[in-house]
Amino acid sequence: MRIFCLRSLLLVLATSSALAQTPALQMNVVYVCTDGQSFKVFSCTDATGACDYQNYKKGQAFQRGEALRVQLTALLPAKCHPQTAAEAQTDPHRGEIPPAPSPFRAHAAAGGNASAAAVNSQSGPGSGGFKVGDTVRVLVDGWQEATITEVHGRSYVVHLPNGVSVSKMWPYEIHRVGKLTAEDHAAGQYDLHDRVQVLVNGKWMDGEIRGQNNVNMYDIKVPGVDTGLGSDMVNTTAENIRMSTKPAPAAAAQRAAGQPPKAGLVSCAGKYEGRWEHVSGMAGMKVVFRSGKATITEGLGGEMPFDCFTGDGKVVFYRAGSFTPFSYDFDINLDGTLQTPLGAIKKMGN
């Protein structure tokens, strides 16, 4: 068996009081979740604290593995609830996948002895061509490297840098180190910023991978698509994705250091040197001007560095190398203050 490292399924209860208020986990009951996922728990073992469960995709049994009872219980009732009779009528869930070897029980039976627990590990490579001792990338709230200690077909037990061993399933939770191959893409593996095509309303459209939010769901930026509230992000599974065959777009031109981004602008160097803050002395926007650069801090936000220029009665800001102006500029007031979106600021110090 395995631990599904779906981000939404790896929440941990923060306090014992929260645990006391959580409904008991029911066996052989389908749970449906607010993020579209669903799962069923078959059994839980007190000795290991692990539960045998499977998740579903489009109503069909998809993957089966193990998760700690506390991880599943933490989803109740805020994120997941037992499927109602009415929900079962409109969205039935079918199928049961046979259980796979359990790393929890193997290590428990071996008394924590990793060499004894690995006795049942196959000697040759598993799915994807990986073998014991290989370093791979695994999905654990983001990708990180780990070492394979056991091989069970598509299921691998890996040892993380923090000392914890977990079970991971190829292809969605295990990637090779380095650049993915055509075979990896054919198996449904993609990396951040891969240029792909995604099936949207029956049409293949070009986009870019921007994230993987669980074992088989990708966030893809697709220009020209509106998925609601002006968003162009499409969330879909690997079977609706393929690598793009179009050549990569030409790299955007980079502005040289100190180069005005357009005619009529000159560097702000020497004009506003020092620290500028709200004229009232109240907290808000702070800007530090130094030698043609400006560092803007908005309220409790972090520092934002820019190149600064003046022209047409304004102070304008550009990221280093960019020809695109920042989302706002400052008007130059007649009294020497600068008008920002959060009010007027004046020089308060050097």
266-349: CATH, from 3.40.50, 2.40.128, 2.40.50, 1.10.3470 = 2.40.128
H/E run at residue 17: helix 16-20
Please determine, for residue 115, whether its predicted confidence score (pLDDT) is greater than 80: no
Using DSSP, state whether 205 is helix, strand or coil.
strand
Token pair for 62: 């998809």
Using DSSP, state whether 132 is helix, strand or coil.
coil
Per-residue pLDDT, 250? 76
Per-residue pLDDT, 271? 95
Instruction: Read off the pLDDT of residues 125-136 as tens digits, 9 standing for 90 and up.
Output: 998 999 999 999
d(CA 266, CA 124): 66
Percent of the chain with pLDDT strictly greater than 70: 86
CATH of span 192-243: 2.30.30
Of the pLDDT bands very low, low, confident and very high (cuts 50, 70, 90), residue 291 is: very high
CATH of span 108-176: 2.30.30.140
Q: Would you say how long the chain is, in residues?
A: 350
> Quick one: average pLDDT of 90-99?
87
d(CA 290, CA 205): 45
154-to-41, 144, 150, 190, 340 alpha-carbon distances in Å = 21, 19, 11, 18, 57
Confirm if 239 and 248 have CB atoms less than 8 A apart: no
pTM of the model: 0.47
d(CA 107, CA 115): 9
Per-residue pLDDT, 20? 45
Please determine, for residue 116, whether its predicted confidence score (pLDDT) is greater than 70: no
Domains 108-176 and 266-349 share a fold: no
Which residues touch 232 (CB under 8 Å, ≥6 apart)? Answer: 221, 222, 223, 224, 225, 226
Of all residues in the chain, what percent are helix, strand and coil, respectively (each to 5)? 15, 40, 50
| φ, ψ at 36 (rounded to 5°) | 95, -5
Confirm if 119 and 111 have CB atoms less than 8 A apart: no
Which residues touch 301 (CB under 8 Å, ≥6 apart)? Answer: none
Q: Which amino acid type is present at position 219?
A: D
Kindly report whether the peptide bond that precedes residue 23 is cis, defined as omega within 30 degrees of 0: no
H/E run at residue 114: helix 114-117
> Quick one: average pLDDT of 191-206?
93
d(CA 165, CA 70): 17
Would you put residue 16 in left (φ > 0), alpha (ψ -120 to 50) or beta? Answer: alpha
What residue ranges do the domains of the chain occupy? 7-90, 108-176, 192-243, 266-349
Please determine, for residue 48, whether its predicted confidence score (pLDDT) is greater than 80: no
Per-residue pLDDT, 244? 93
d(CA 332, CA 336): 7
